[in-house]
Each structure stands twice: as C-alpha cells, then as structure tokens.
Structure 1
Amino acid sequence: MIEIYFEKGFTYTWNPPQKITTDPHDGSIFRSGTSHPPNLTYTGLHPGFFDGVTLPSTRGIATNTAIRYRWLNYVHGRTAYVRSTNTDVLTGFMSGCWICSWSEHGHRRVGHIGTVDFAARDAAPNSTVKQAFAASPAMQVGSHIRGYNPADAWDVADILRLTNQTKIVTQSLIMSLVNTRNEFYSILMMQTIAPGKWICGGKKRVHGHHRGTLQAALA
C-alpha cells in the first residue's frame, strides 16, 4: 500500500508515462498498462512544503526507496484497464476522467475511462467512451463496481496557492491511486524545473461511488 509514500513535501525522481492519443477513439475497453513502469523513487523532503509532525524515517520510509506500482495508461477515447489483485495502481494525469474498479471473470480490474478535455462533455469521443463503458459488463449488477473522479478532490485555488509557493514548480498535476485495499486516493504531484524532479502537494482519500452514481456520470 504505497499511499504512505505520498505526503505533502515528499520529493521524487520520476519520468511518468505519457498519455496515449492515437486513434481510434472508438470507446473500446482493453487491457493497457505495465507492471514495469518508469522508476518512481522517494528522495526525501522539500522543507518549503513539508509541514508534517512525524518524520518519514520514523515510519520506516527510507530515502532513495523505489516505490513499487503498476501503471494504468490514460488512452484518449478508450477505456484502459489493468488486472490488480495484489498491486497498487497509479494512473494520470487527471482533469475529469473517472477511475473505476470492478470484478470481471474472477479478477479485480482498475480502469481509466479516457474522456478528453478538447471535446464537449456530450460530444465524441467523450460520448463514445462513456456510452461504451456504461453498456459493458463492468456496469452490470454483480460486478461490485466503484469509481471516482480524482480531479473533483482538489480546488483550483488550492492548487494555484501551492504552485505559487515557490518558483521551482512549473505545473501541478493530479494522479490517481487505487491501492491493494481498493481505496481511492487523489494525489497532487508538482513538477519542478529540474528534469525528472517532483514534489508531492498532498493526497486526499476519496469515497468511491457505486453503480447508480456512475450511471448518472456516464449519461
């Protein structure tokens, strides 16, 4: 359960995978991710952001620790998923997509419904990918589906306030974590001017919505 490695002021080296923008934007649901993603290494604390009382070392968190995770791809206009029985799943970056977990063929799946911000909510490919997922086995009774929108957890003003605290942050991006206990977290990651260097702006545990709420969100 890697959420312990994401606290405000924690620092990392990381070159995150890129979103996949290639056609077709056909709404299809397919397996797309990797259990061997780029190294994400916890490197210590940024004193300008860390405001915790307990030092990470007292919690068994060692500097220069490689964080083990599975990466779920963000694919424009399609729903990507990975199987996740005993693995923590990261995906992003988030601006409004829904992340869901459900059971299918005896396995837990974590999926990223790949809506885009360059099209209207009710226009293709957003309408295409949402309709396809709404009609899929993931949304049937018995799938135990739960989901959330990680972007909803953060207020824009709060993000700007954090970003503007220092000149070394170039942008703040939201990442999703679904851990091995099927808990949902929205994590704010701040990219710095130094290549491959990141600072955590904080994390928020988010309540997972059930089937009815998801149906309304996909309508």
Structure 2
Amino acid sequence: MRTRIRDTRSAGWAQGPAPVLLLLHGYGSNENDLTQLVPHLQLGLPWASLRAPIELGSGAAAWFTITTPGSPDLGPVAEATAAIWDWVDANLDPAAPVVPIGFSQGGLMVTQLLRTRPARVLAPVVLGGFVLGAPQPADDELAAYRPAVFWGRGSQDTVIAAHAVARTESWLPDHTTLTAKVYPGVGHAIGADAIVDVRDFVTANVGVAHRG
C-alpha cells in the first residue's frame, strides 16, 4: 500500500505516542488528495495518507469496486479494512491511536475502522461518506460507549445514494456520540466550513491545540 507520510513518531506527545491522522481518499482519487487538508487543519499531528488497494488507471485508486451504489459488497470492504489495519500494525507504534479522516469511499472506510477495532480509533471524521449495511464485529461495543464521531456532508451531494445517507442517519446516532453537519449548497466536496469544523472537532476530542 503506497503512502504519503509526515513523521509518524511521537512528535513530543506528552501522554505517549502521538495520535496519527490517517487520511483515506475517495473513489478515483489517490494518496495525494487529502494531504492538502493538513496545513488547513493546523493540528500539528503526525499523519499518513494511504492509497487504496484497487488500481483504476491514470493514478486513480479505489477501496472497493462499485456494484450497487451505496450498498457495496461486504467481501471487498472487509478486505480493504484488513489492508488498512495491516498497514497500521506494520508502520505505527502499537500504542498510537489513529484519527482517521476519510472522504466518500474513504469515509466509509473510516467507519469500518471504528466498527472493527474501536479501541485504536480516536475522533473519526467521515466527510461525504456513509456506513456499511452489514453488521460489524464491534457494533454492540460501540452502542454501549458511543465514541465521538464527526459526519459532514453537502446538502447538494447527489453522489452518495439516498438510501445510504438514510442508513447512516439512523446508524450513527444509535452507536456514537455524533456531531453531524450538513453544508448548504455544497455538493460532493469538502468546503472551507467543513475544514474548520473538523479542526474544532479533532481539537476537542483529541486534546490538541490547533496552530493558528
């Protein structure tokens, strides 16, 4: 799995290994896409941006193939989830939490990390994404302690199927302490308001002070 990385060592984190921002791009993009968010988030955390495993050509990649929009097959999603965890286990300190930020397909992968190994995930951020319909190993655990999650999407986003949005609107409040934002006039994109909200959310839930 190819990556772009800014030093993932402790970065002076007083409480042990620093949390690591884990950037997960959307369908048809690549590991360079979400790195442009890092300077705007101003969090001062180490980060890694992963490339999805399925090559689409011309530099594009995907976490899973699209069969029925909004209802991906479980098998490929599970394989992609395992691939991300394999990278984390091989490259990060075992005690370092991951703070995953994902867009579109990458947003679904963020929820998969939370739904499979929640103890390793801190302040996950889903942008223009959705949750898988199939039950996942940690769903009951999540419903019991309801970790903080951010979900942002554009009011004009027509890329994510309506039934997937409805599923996510139902699942997230039942399993997490949700911060949900809908951005008027925004399509399938990450706007400036979302960046500010993500920065504030991560700062509040990870304990870092942004560097404004």
Taking structure 1 as the reference length, the TM-score comes to: 0.35
Larger radius of gyration: 1
Greater strand content: 1
Higher relative contact order (CA 8 A, sep 6+): 1
